[in-house]
Amino acid sequence: MNQLLIEKYLLRDDLSTSDPYDIWKTNLGIKIKKLYYGNKYLGLVPAGILTIYDLYINNNLRLGYQKQEYPIVRAQSALALLNIYKKDKNNIYLEYAKKHIDWLLENYSKAYSGYCWGLNFDWVYSSCKVYDSNIPFSTHTPYPLEALIEYYKITKDKKLLEPIRSIFLFLEKDIKVMQETDEFLILSYGVEKDRVVTNANSYLMYMYSLMLDYLPDKKVYIKNKITKIYNFLISVQNRDGSWIYQPYDNSFIDCFHSAFVLKNIYKTNKIVELSNANKIIEYGYIYILDNFFDQKYNLFKRFSKSNKLSLVKFDLYDNAEILNLALLLNDSNTVTLLNKSIQDNFIKGSDIFSIIELFGKQKNKNHLRWAIIPYLYGLSNIKDK
């Protein structure tokens, strides 16, 4: 079943998909989101109406929405196919992985210092600020970078070395320093001096670690950066093991962003030894298991500390990322239990739904970015019995 699902969704030339952000990419959605960020009391009712319209009226019809491609979908699709190729050497997986890699090399964010990628749509993140569709992010570029590196390791295609190495220039010249001391380094989310986001810095730390094999002459410099970003990350880990999304704004604590931080610390530590990393990961993982897991459904919920109302009971994104994290940490019990529960709750036939809403209904069918592809990537890492 796992391989059939992966083949259905990933062996495609076109990975255009519907998305839960479709409503917020419309002109009306953008205006209402700006209003909401400017004044939650004024924006709450119109934002709620759009949410209900999208979830309960237009969820299947998708009237007024357009499917589109996303770099993160292409990158994780390539990674999943390369995982399967390494197991059975079927060239069809390598062929389609190359198609996804080629798409990424054609569709990167232009006018920056190196190859980099973003959301591929305009994203409102405050009452007066919008990230345009070309802006690259520290949270999106790591996936294409991983895909390029994995494909290079398999094929030894030297044409990929220039794009891989150029991402270092993006990190150095386009990502902004938010704060730096002798001990700490805090970097930006995007290419502006925008905001301090915990998981973004964990991704940046991991990207720097991936550069070590490709820029040996900068090894000391890169390791110093990794250490200073890591020092920031552990300084903002709460005593209970959790991380706040924006630590200096006292925002929210949620499941899949928490998983991102732990995954990036784990993967970086595999490349560069980080002080006390295993204990840091253990604290964070225990917090996730204790505060997000719902024993009644055997699924992980979104928030342990929320800053907004939601109609979502369970989201595949949270559960897909915990599945990926549990695989890294060799937590076979959680992998087995969670994978079965995902199949029972989010999959119907060969269709995969991204959310279970408050009344238990499956919604957002076959939305690749959020969150079928992260789930399929997890499936590709599960060892055959």
Q: Which two tokens stand for residue 236?
A: 């903002």
C-alpha distance from residue 171 to each of 21, 134, 135, 205 (Å): 27, 16, 14, 10
Question: pLDDT tens for residues 67-103?
Answer: 999 999 999 999 999 999 999 999 999 999 999 999 9
Partners of 187 in beta bridges: 177
pTM of the complete model: 0.97
Q: Which tokens in the block code for residue 208?
A: 């720097």
C-alpha triplet 116, 119, 120: angle, nearest 5°: 90
Residue 266: both structure tokens together: 């784990």
Q: Residue 257: is its pLDDT beyond 80?
A: yes
Spatial CB neighbours of 113, under 8 Å, sequence gap ≥ 6: 166, 169, 170, 172, 173, 174
Residue given tokens 């119109």 in the structure block: 46
For residues 100, 106, 111, 117, the Cα torsion angle rounded to the nearest 10 degrees is: -10
- For 23, 127, 311, the CA distances from 52, given in Å and listed in that order, are 11, 22, 8
Averaged pLDDT, 332-360: 97
Q: What percent of the chain has pLDDT over 70?
A: 99
Q: Is the pLDDT of residue 2 over 80?
A: no
Q: For 372-384, how does the pLDDT look when each residue is reduced to its tens digit (9 = 90+)?
A: 999 999 999 998 7
| DSSP E strand stretches across the chain | 123-124, 130-131, 177-180, 185-187, 253-254, 293-294, 299-300, 303-305, 312-315, 347-348, 351-357, 362-365
Q: Which helix (H) or strand (E) holds 85?
A: helix 71-88
pLDDT tens digits along 318-332? 999 999 999 999 999
DSSP string for 7-37 = HHHHS-S---B--TTHHHHSHHHHHHHHHHH
Average model confidence (pLDDT) across the chain: 96
Residue 385: predicted pLDDT:
57
H/E run at residue 259:
helix 255-271
Q: Which position has the higher pLDDT, 345 or 350?
A: 345
My answer on whether omega of the bond before 371 falls inside 30° of 0, hence cis, is: yes
